[in-house]
Amino acid sequence: RLSPTLAAALNAQMTNEAHNSQIYLAYASWASDKGYDGIANFLFRHANEERNHMMKFLEYILKRGAKVVVTAIPAPGHDPKSVNDCFEKVFKYEVENTTSIYNIVNMSLEEKDWATWNFLQWFVKEQTEEETLALDLLSKIKVAGGEKANPEALYTLDLDLGKTPDDA
């Protein structure tokens, strides 16, 4: 059985994942409105991934005999100012999420709850991949000299992201 401390932390993390899903939904809608259909497509798919993460936490909490607490999800905040700003923010949120997951990994270690420790390793790997992806997209925009300097590079990025396959 999960300790009350770990159950609370995992429930909070479940809400974090739902919050990230809302952020990606908002950014995807923003990108679509700006005519960046590929970027929107990528962000909509990512919103689904975050929702799947939320479900993984929910199912794990239930499986370990603790209570799932579904709460309100904070609003996503302001729209990005540009594509660069969008991916800067995405990277920032992913780093925050990684920190939050590492904290729970640490708690599970302290409690010697190896099942939870093991469950979280999937997320440790996933966060590394998501941070790398966001950094990679940011550097593609920057190498091209920023979106203002080179709208064609942005156009290519938009096309590429429209083709990125689902991976969650």
Q: Which of 2, 9, 13, 20 binds ligand OFO (CB under 6 A)?
A: 20
CB of 102 to ligand OFO, least distance (A): 13
Q: Which two tokens stand for residue 69?
A: 């607490």
* Of 97 and 154, CB closest to ligand OFO: 97
Q: Is 127 annotated as a binding residue?
A: yes
User: Count residues contacting ligand OFO (CB under 6 A)?
Assistant: 8
* Of 40 and 154, CB closest to ligand OFO: 40
Binding flag, residue 108, ligand OFO (CB under 6 A): no
Q: Is 126 annotated as a binding residue?
A: no
Contact 17, 53 (CB under 8 A): yes
Q: Which of 57, 94, 104, 107 binds ligand OFO (CB under 6 A)?
A: 94
Binding flag, residue 89, ligand OFO (CB under 6 A): no
Binding flag, residue 53, ligand OFO (CB under 6 A): yes
For residue 106, the tally of other CB atoms under 10 A from its CB is 13
Distances (CA, A) of 53 to 25, 44, 84, 140, 149: 15, 15, 25, 27, 37
Contact 141, 154 (CB under 8 A): yes
Binding flag, residue 158, ligand OFO (CB under 6 A): no
Positions at the binding site for Fe cation? 17, 50, 53, 94, 127
**Residues in contact with ligand OFO by the rule CB under 6 A:** 17, 20, 50, 53, 94, 97, 126, 130
Positions at the binding site? 17, 50, 53, 94, 127
